[in-house]
Amino acid sequence: MDRLADAARAGTISRRSFMHYAAAAGVTASAATGLWGTSAKAAPKRGGTLRVAQHDGNTSDQHDPGKYQSNFEIGYGHTVRAYLTMINADGTLGPDVAKEWSATPDAKEWTFVLDERATFHNGNKVTAADVLASINHHRGDDATSAAKSLLGDVVEIVDNGDHSITFKLAGPNADLPWLMTDYHLTVLPAKADGTADWQSGIGCGPYKVAELEFGVGGRFVRHEDWHGEGAWFDEVEVLVINDPNARQTALVTGDVDTASLLENKTLMLLARDPNIEVDNISSAQAITMPMHCDVAPFDNPDVRMALKLSINRQELVDKITFGAATIGNDFHHSPAMPYFPEAIPQREYDPEKAKSLLKKAGAEGLTVNLSTADSITTGAVDAAILYSEHAKAAGINIKVVREPNDGYWSDVWLVKPWCMVTWGARPTPDVMYSLAYKSDAAWNESHWQNERFNELLLQGKAELDNAKRMEIYHEMGMLARDDGGTVIPYFPNFVYARRSNVKHTGSLSPAWQMDGYRYASRWWFEG
């Protein structure tokens, strides 16, 4: 009945169908009529311009989806462009440009049937050739895409000539349809030479570009021929506001209708405002602190372990996130993801053991720099400073370097030997590990190399037995926790807010901020 009510609010079910299914569920006609009336009153209506205060926008942002890094780029990708599949508001996998998909019994071949309604903003229909060019943009020896490692097992992609494509893999991959939701893998028009046209900014998503200046913002108008449901707003205006106080002020004063990444310490105050609705969503997004394992002093595993033992994770969750987070354990696998290895012991704060490890490594009195920025996550700088206080008990001097928000992803992440990073939620552990821990991954942010981990990654990808897959991810988690180069303090909730006249179905995707960054197509104005 909750799903029926959501469908009524979204306008995706008729009254007749609603009453039929309600009767099948054992609801009386009078009760069903009342529920329909309550739900349908909130049914979305077209109209209006949604004004968005977006964090983490940079002048270095750009159109090439293979190089998307910032939250602005991710939101842009889900507003202007589309993907083969999507993560629904309830966290399940659903169709986008592909309306259905199927696999051979060994999961080594996957066929995706395309939606014939899908149309680019220039009026051209989306074809299998477009999808081939889009995916191949991230493949091949010359590809520079961050998603290249995700497609490493793809041997061939075939245009079947019937508005479908088939992925042929070197080995089984039960997660391939989930991989297609990765924010880099947008569907783009194909050029005459078979390459993808990412330069024009044309997509087949719910909105098309009217104005755009990276680092400043953009204005997007509804794509009337969009193949999906929703896109209720006439226009969406996105303003880059990297300062969290300025974002919140803009929301409270009504200068914007919704704002991303709010300061957790102000949530109680915002909740008292009758004009504001706060969304606080548990997720698998993570805060990481990757150390370059090939750069001294982080090339010494005892130093890495000492730094992992010198952080009081529970205090960070309590004082920085105000409880809006799940404690981390130095392996990138959240309880919100499948196959979570619950048996792995929780890492505890132990500065005395850290001291002994530093003495063993000949690194007593260690001094290291930790780079961070306000736009990384709510309370990012405060979290780094609190960590530095924890580490003093182990004789470690962590110098917190407050970097500029603009250019952080191009000038700091993957460049500085130790920095603070926020990772969006990934749907499965294989996706996360393939992106950031695989030895040859473009985003192997800690430069960690572990032969056994990479063997297990291949095994886990191919294993169709869930119990055996659980065992594999347990061992991978232990390797990353005890040998890896990443400190993971916590998995923060997605916390954002909107004016009370901005409505959604009540289900919010745990994939990214603001309903998996599909707010433009899923939300609407009341009245």
CB atoms within 10 A of CB 296: 10
- Asked whether residue 302 falls in the same domain as residue 448, the answer is yes
Band the pLDDT of 32: cuts 50, 70, 90: low
- Asked whether residue 123 falls in the same domain as residue 235, the answer is no
> What does pLDDT average to over the chain?
93
CB atoms within 10 A of CB 385: 16
* Domain final residue, candidates 168, 197, 226: 197
Report if residue 77 sits inside a domain. Answer: no
- Asked whether residue 450 falls in the same domain as residue 334, the answer is yes
- DSSP secondary structure string, 457-479? HHHHHH---HHHHHHHHHHHHHH
Band the pLDDT of 271: cuts 50, 70, 90: confident
- pLDDT tens, residue by residue, 190-230: 999 999 999 999 999 999 999 999 999 999 999 999 999 99
Q: How far is CA 146 from the centre of its chain?
A: 14
Q: How far is CA 186 from the centre of its chain?
A: 14
Q: Is residue 30 pLDDT above 60, yes or no? A: no
Q: What is the mean pLDDT of residues 333-349?
A: 92
- Asked whether residue 316 falls in the same domain as residue 362, the answer is yes
pLDDT of 375 reads 87
- Asked whether residue 339 falls in the same domain as residue 430, the answer is yes
Q: What is the mean pLDDT of residues 90-98?
A: 92
Calculate the alpha carbon distances from 472 to 174, 290, 339, 454 in Å: 15, 23, 9, 11
Report if residue 162 sits inside a domain. Answer: yes
pLDDT top residue among 41 and 293: 293
Report if residue 70 sits inside a domain. Answer: no
- Give the integer Cα–Cα distance in Å for 337 and 331: 12
Cis amide bond preceding 297, omega within 30:
yes
- Give the integer Cα–Cα distance in Å for 19 and 16: 5
Using a pLDDT cut of 90, give the percent of the chain over it. 80
Band the pLDDT of 35: cuts 50, 70, 90: low
pLDDT of 463 reads 87
The one-character DSSP state at 300 is: S
Q: Is residue 319 pLDDT above 60, yes or no? A: yes
- Asked whether residue 514 falls in the same domain as residue 499, the answer is yes
CATH number of the domain bearing residue 270: 3.40.190.10
Rg for the chain, CA atoms, rounded: 23
Mean pLDDT lowest for which of 4-13, 184-193, 424-433? 4-13
pLDDT of 425 reads 85
CB atoms within 10 A of CB 194: 10
pLDDT top residue among 284 and 329: 329
- Asked whether residue 28 falls in the same domain as residue 139, the answer is no
CB atoms within 10 A of CB 352: 9
Report if residue 342 sits inside a domain. Answer: yes
- pLDDT tens, residue by residue, 105-115: 999 999 999 99
CA-based torsion, 242, 246, 252, 256: positive or negative: negative
Q: Which of 513, 496, 498, 437 is nearest to 70 (CA)?
A: 513
Q: What is the mean pLDDT of residues 433-448?
A: 94
- Residues pairing with 402 in the sheet: 372
Band the pLDDT of 27: cuts 50, 70, 90: confident
Sheet holding 325-327, edge to edge: 325-327, 486-492, 286-290, 421-423
- Asked whether residue 408 falls in the same domain as residue 475, the answer is yes
Report if residue 100 sits inside a domain. Answer: yes
Phi, psi angle pair for 77, to nearest 5°: -60, -35
Band the pLDDT of 366: cuts 50, 70, 90: very high
pLDDT of 167 reads 98
Q: What is the mean pLDDT of residues 176-196?
A: 96
pLDDT of 37 reads 57
Q: Could you tell me how many residues make up the chain?
A: 527
- pLDDT tens, residue by residue, 226-247: 999 999 999 999 999 999 999 9
Report if residue 74 sits inside a domain. Answer: no
Phi, psi angle pair for 225, to nearest 5°: -100, 20
- Give the integer Cα–Cα distance in Å for 353 and 372: 26
Q: Is residue 4 pLDDT above 80, yes or no? A: no
Place of tokens 């097992």: 153
- DSSP secondary structure string, 376-436? TSTTHHHHHHHHHHHHHTTT-EEEEEE--STTHHHHTTTTSSBB-EEE---SSHHHHHHHH
Residue 465's domain comprises: 286-492
* Domain final residue, candidates 197, 217, 252: 197
- Asked whether residue 321 falls in the same domain as residue 448, the answer is yes
CATH number of the domain bearing residue 318: 3.10.105.10
- Asked whether residue 248 falls in the same domain as residue 388, the answer is no
pLDDT of 180 reads 96
Number of domains in the chain: 4
Q: What is the mean pLDDT of residues 384-401?
A: 98
Torsion of CA 98, 78, 45, 508, to 10 degrees: 90
- pLDDT tens, residue by residue, 464-489: 888 999 999 999 999 999 999 999 99
CATH number of the domain bearing residue 110: 3.90.76.10
Report if residue 73 sits inside a domain. Answer: no
- pLDDT tens, residue by residue, 129-167: 999 999 999 998 999 999 998 899 999 999 999 999 999
- Asked whether residue 387 falls in the same domain as residue 327, the answer is yes
Using a pLDDT cut of 70, give the percent of the chain over it. 93
- Asked whether residue 469 falls in the same domain as residue 507, the answer is no
* Domain final residue, candidates 162, 197, 232: 197
